[in-house]
Structure 1
Amino acid sequence: MNAPPATSPEARGDVERILVLGCGALVNEMQAVVRHHGLVNVDVECLPAKLHNRPALIAGAVRERLARLGEQGKSYAQILLGYADCGTAGALEKLCEEFAAAHAAGDGPPMSMMPGAHCYEFFAGAGRFASMHDAEPATFYLTDYLARHFDLLVWKGLGIEAHPELAEMYFGNYERVVLLTQTSDGTQRVRVEACARAGAERLGLPLVIVETGYGELLDTMVSVAAPSRRGRVEVLS
């Protein structure tokens, strides 16, 4: 492997430290889980959210960030990727398998990833997302982050601003927009819903709002962490 965060955490006194390395689009949610659930032994790092539009680059970016951590001498008992497959065509799963094999040989920590195909699924839950998809397959999904940054990641990110004709190419077959909202904060909810409505209007589609909370992101982060351990929370963008 390419210089993963190695050696046992006990060797550095960082017993049971956990790394969560995720998509920059989930940084607010991952930070909130750490804060609200006492995960003081969890370090959070994020890769650029723009990788959302270039999923073929995600696995390589994960490997590079982990190699950099290894070069910095950082060590973890476990790594959780704040990604599901996310369009990587199995590349993240293969990377996790590579880490598992190295860990079994005594080289570095094990690494796991979020379940499912994408963040929409693990926020909503697999069964609930499947029901929504079955009800209307031609759905464009937004999370809170994607709603707030619709212009940057969708309108500009997909090139529609420069080439308006692409809007019909990308979205002509969609029937609705579904906002999967995570926040329970009233002020933030108003802002997010307003951004989602504005985005849906630009696409000429009706908007449906579904409250999900943090879904399996919360469940998985809590399950891999040991809240009683002492440590720091480090967030790098």
Structure 2
Amino acid sequence: MTLSDRDLTEQGLTLDTGGAARLLVIGCGAIAREILALKATNGWTHMDLACLPAILHNHPDRIAPAVEAMIKEKSERYETIFVAYADCGTGGYLADVCERHGAEMIAGPHCYSFFEGNERFAERAADEIDSFYLTDFLVRQFDAFVWRPLGLDRHPDLIHSYFAHYRRLVYQAQVNDPALDAKAEECAARLGLAYERRFTGYGDLQSALASVAQQRPG
């Protein structure tokens, strides 16, 4: 399936099996490609995916209400609903929504942590307080999620104000793609930061989805 970055950013995505599946994953559009890749690789034919617009990450207060609305909309069709979000700036409200509706969710504060692996990310946290992270999606969508929202397209002089306390940009690569590597390095240069590429693969996203998928074998 070819995914439009614009759809994932602004509209989200729904991919289902016409009611045959018993497991629904509700996720962020920013990790739709990764979820679909894992679904295909592992043959999780009993799993459907519904993604909310990735742009919600610019408004984290809207994430929990949007997830709850989707759970209510979809709950009658599925035996199990799994929420493929970490806390993502919701201040615990998303966890409250999941607990209220009996849905599991990915552990961790945000996707940078679960892609790295929550335990490993926590171990490095003290030494990486001055690091700015990008994932595959954010490299592709750097202008839409970083450059323009911060007004740097109009006022590039603000770069120093926003990033004065950052030392490096860490690109957490989910796949090996030379084009993305080059773009990530360009993003670092535009922000005036040192560049580090760190291959993470799918991290804890993979183990979390495998765990819930095995609970409902196809």
Instruction: Report the TM-score when normalising by structure 2.
Output: 0.85
1:36 and 2:28 correspond: no
Q: Which residue of 1 aligns with 2:85?
A: 83
Separation of aligned partners in 1, 2:184 and 2:89: 23
1:220 and 2:208 correspond: yes
Separation of aligned partners in 1, 2:48 and 2:58: 25
Indicate which of 105, 113, 122 corresponds to 1:113. 105
Q: Which residue of 2 aligns with 1:8?
A: none
Q: Which residue of 2 aligns with 1:5?
A: none
Code of the aligned partner of 2:88: C
* Alpha-carbon contact 1:24-1:48 (below 8 Å) kept: yes
Pairing of 1:40-119 with structure 2 (within 5 A)? 40-69=45-74, 74-99=76-101, 110-119=102-111
Unaligned runs of 5+ in 1: 1-12, 100-109, 230-237
* Alpha-carbon contact 1:150-1:195 (below 8 Å) kept: no
Separation of aligned partners in 2, 1:49 and 1:195: 20
Specify whether residues 228 and 94 from structure 1 end up closer, same or farther in structure 2 by C-alpha distance, changes over 3 A only: closer
Work out the number of aligned pairs and report it.
199
Per-residue CA deviations over 1:27-84 (Å, capped at 9, x if unaligned) read 10000010001111100111111111111111111122233335xxx51111111110
Moved more, 129-138 or 51-60: 129-138
Per-residue CA deviations over 1:172-210 (Å, capped at 9, x if unaligned) read 1101110111114xxxx1111111111101100011111
Code of the aligned partner of 1:88: T
Normalized per residue, which structure has more helix?
2
Indicate which of 180, 184, 190 corresponds to 2:178. 190
| Deviation, structure 1 residue 171 | 1.3
Q: Which residue of 1 aligns with 2:192?
A: 204
Code of the aligned partner of 2:47: V
* Alpha-carbon contact 2:170-2:198 (below 8 Å) kept: yes
Indicate which of 18, 24, 36 corresponds to 2:23. 18
Q: Looking at both structures, which has the greater relative contact order when contacts are Cα pairs under 8 Å and sequence separation is at least 6?
A: 1
Separation of aligned partners in 2, 1:94 and 1:166: 37
Separation of aligned partners in 2, 1:163 and 1:80: 41
Specify whether residues 166 and 62 from structure 1 end up closer, same or farther in structure 2 by C-alpha distance, changes over 3 A only: farther
Unaligned runs of 5+ in 2: 1-18
Separation of aligned partners in 2, 1:20 and 1:60: 16
Indicate which of 121, 142, 145 corresponds to 2:137. 145
Per-residue CA deviations over 1:200-226 (Å, capped at 9, x if unaligned) read 011000111111110111111111114
| Deviation, structure 1 residue 228 | 4.1
* Alpha-carbon contact 2:71-2:81 (below 8 Å) kept: no
The runs of at least 4 consecutive aligned structure 1 residues that moved more than 6 Å come to: none
Q: Which residue of 2 aligns with 1:164?
A: 156
Separation of aligned partners in 1, 2:196 and 2:162: 19
Q: Percent identity?
A: 43
- Whichever of the two has the greater Rg, that structure is 1
Code of the aligned partner of 1:29: E
Per-residue CA deviations over 1:132-159 (Å, capped at 9, x if unaligned) read 3222311101111101111111001222
Instruction: Report the TM-score when normalising by structure 1.
Output: 0.79
Specify whether residues 136 and 57 from structure 1 end up closer, same or farther in structure 2 by C-alpha distance, changes over 3 A only: same
